Amino acid sequence: MPKKIIKSSKTPITGFTDKSSPSPLAQGIRWGNMLFLSGQVAIDPETKEVISDDIQAQTQQTLQNLEEILKEAGGSFANVVNMRVCLRNVDDFQKFNITFTEFMKGEKVTRTCIGGIPHRVGVNVEIDCIAMFD
């Protein structure tokens, strides 16, 4: 069974900062009933720039970017079983978690949240996920 590349035109491809070259990354890869989404950040789909330095605004945009890729694959956050979060500043956790909880609207996932330094200047949160389908 070959892997299927998932690409949403409504979400930027992240993780590759050289804008003059095509990214070697996929937004998502579906293999059978599993979907793996690359880490997304708070980049505006139109401008390809970080939207704000506010952690809550960045969290909202990051989750919206993930949601667009999930939709392209025929899914939603109801399909997500695991999420990994990297916060530039662990002191942002409480504000991040408020926005995350509101966005998820009661949907349950497993999640790991660590402190670290996302690859792009100005990015304060990065999230990837794994989704499952019947």
- CA distances to 9, 22, 29, 114, 123 from 87, rounded to whole Å, are 26, 26, 24, 6, 9
* Tens digits of pLDDT across the chain (134 residues): 789 999 999 988 765 556 677 778 899 999 999 999 999 999 998 888 999 999 999 999 999 999 999 999 999 999 999 999 999 999 999 999 999 999 999 999 999 999 999 888 899 999 999 999 98
Can you tell me the distance from the alpha carbon of 96 to that of 33, in angstroms, rounded to the nearest whole number? 30
**Can you list the domains of the chain with their CATH numbers?**
4-8+23-132 (3.30.1330.40)
Largest Cα–Cα separation, the chain: 43
